[in-house]
Structure 1
Amino acid sequence: MGIFSFRRKISSHGKFSHGKTVYTDYSVIEIPGDGRCLFRSVAHGTCLRSGRPAPNEHLQRQLADELRAKVADEFVKRSKETEWFVEGDFDTYVSKIRKPNVWGGEPELLMASHVLEMPITVYMHDKDAGGLITIAEYGEEYGKENPVKVLYHTYGHYDALQILGRKHGKSKLEL
């Protein structure tokens, strides 16, 4: 796991692509591709958002597994409102998502926002614009300020992300 930063002199203010702000001043925290990347990225981002130190590899994995379990529980708790948007049989889906090597996606991000009671924003690199754009936002009912930020790569991988120059917020959940 490593950190690499992209710091460009281009201001992120005033630059747009497809009507969305382009972020050019950010740091990407590489997350291992072990099937936990979404959960690791969100857990890592939660620590950063709350001002806690970045978790080491072991703690990041532990927090990811705890978050995954809570996300699966949240699916069950909200089954009446979530059954319709999961692929296949609901119970099979929830059972599968509890396994540490199973990838997560949009449904898991939505449930994670509820578990954490905080917004999560997903970014993607826009090659033409030369920076990152927002592609999805979850948990806006918990506010829009200082969301947990993750970077989605087109090949199904997530990394933790910091958009530089932002303040830390208070975490509502101790994982």
Structure 2
Amino acid sequence: MRFARALKEKKGFVIKAVQEDGACLFRAVSDQVFGDEEMHATVRQNCMDYIVKNADFFRSYITEDFDHYVNRKRRQNCHGNHIEMIALSELYNRPIEVYEYSIEPINIVHGMYKTDNEPIRLSYHCGVHYNSIIDPWRPTAGHGLGLPDLQPGRAQESLIRTALRQSEESHIERAMLDDKIAATDWEATQDQLIQQVARESYLQWLCDSNQQHKDNKMMPSSSSSPTSATTHERTANSNHGSSPRNLLPLRLDERKDCEFALPFNYECDPSSKPSMSSY
């Protein structure tokens, strides 16, 4: 809708649609005053009660029987008009601005007293329906209710602060959780690296030990010939050098078992012995 788009771009206002059931005027005013269009029955009752209390003033603006008019307007599906707007403006001490396909109000209803309260803004469509016009940056709910300490928007600001605090706490908790997950992943990675290094070191040690064992097995076989030869030579030399000494036993008890390699031998026959007289 071009009207709604122009109103938002030029004024920053937003048209808030209300239900089309004959109570649209009271619904739109209820949204402006109470922040909830469902309070329209209360708004209607207060409006008609105010007209009755000020019958001398409003009677001159009503062309039909006053009591019949009031009873008809009390019905929930009966439309409101400019007489109810005057009563509502005076009742809540807020001017009422009516916008109809323009960014400037076509009608402004003032009450009996001057006020600094924000006006009640209404949009008028097709000559039969009212909607609520709100300023998102300046809440007006509560204005005109006779509450001297009321500051419209305080509750909303409190909700915003609470939402911001909860969002910050949630963000901090999420950041802490992400840091914990990252730290856990880092520790797990470190453990895996340490295990891998230890495994590779152990495998390398096994390979080195196996190779050293194989080398130790091959060394005796390759050097056995020179060693045995040297040992044989030493043994031969030892036997050769000690053989003259072993021909005659040094001990007397060993001599009886030895045979002397002499050019003669002893015989027990006396006749075979040479005679001394022959010499």
Q: Secondary structure at the residue paired with 2:143?
A: coil
The letter of the residue matching 1:123 is Y
Which ranges of structure 2 fall in alignment gaps of 5 or more residues? 147-279
Give the Cα separation in 2 of the matches to 1:85 and 1:9: 35
Q: 1:80 to 1:151 in 2, by over 3 A?
A: same
Q: Does 1:116 align with 2:74?
A: no
TM-score, normalization: structure 1? Answer: 0.70
Q: 1:74 to 1:168 in 2, by over 3 A?
A: closer
Q: Secondary structure at the residue paired with 1:87?
A: coil
Instruction: Give the CA deviation at 1:138.
Output: 2.0
Q: Does 1:105 align with 2:66?
A: no
Asked if 1 retains the 8 angstrom alpha-carbon contact of 2:33 and 2:144, the reply is no
Aligned match of 1:43: 30
TM-score, normalization: structure 2? Answer: 0.46
Give the Cα separation in 1 of the matches to 2:106 and 2:116: 15
Greater strand share, structure number: 1
Aligned match of 1:134: 105
Higher relative contact order (CA 8 A, sep 6+): 1
Q: 1:138 to 1:9 in 2, by over 3 A?
A: closer
- For this pair of structures, how many residues does the alignment match? 142
Q: Which of 64, 74, 88 is 2:40 aligned to?
A: 64
Q: 1:124 to 1:163 in 2, by over 3 A?
A: farther
Give the Cα separation in 1 of the matches to 2:73 and 2:8: 41
User: Which segment drifts farther, 86-95 or 99-108?
Assistant: 86-95
Q: Secondary structure at the residue paired with 2:19?
A: coil
Query: Which residues of 2 match residues 15-94 of structure 1 at below 5 A?
Result: 23=11, 25-47=12-34, 54-55=35-36, 60-61=37-38, 63-94=39-70
The letter of the residue matching 1:89 is D
* Deviation sequence 1:101-154 (CA, Å, 0-9, x none): 00001111111112212222111113xxxxx22122223524255211111113
Q: 1:68 to 1:134 in 2, by over 3 A?
A: same
Asked if 2 retains the 8 angstrom alpha-carbon contact of 1:28 and 1:159, the reply is yes
- Higher-Rg member (1/2): 2
Give the Cα separation in 1 of the matches to 2:141 and 2:30: 14
Instruction: Give the CA deviation at 1:172.
Output: 2.8
Asked if 2 retains the 8 angstrom alpha-carbon contact of 1:146 and 1:167, the reply is no
The letter of the residue matching 2:127 is Y
User: Which segment drifts farther, 162-171 or 68-77?
Assistant: 162-171
Asked if 1 retains the 8 angstrom alpha-carbon contact of 2:123 and 2:130, the reply is yes
Which ranges of structure 1 fall in alignment gaps of 5 or more residues? 13-22, 48-53, 127-131
Identity within the alignment, %: 24
Give the Cα separation in 2 of the matches to 1:30 and 1:171: 21
Q: 1:156 to 1:9 in 2, by over 3 A?
A: closer
Give the Cα separation in 2 of the matches to 1:98 and 1:9: 34
Greater helix share, structure number: 2
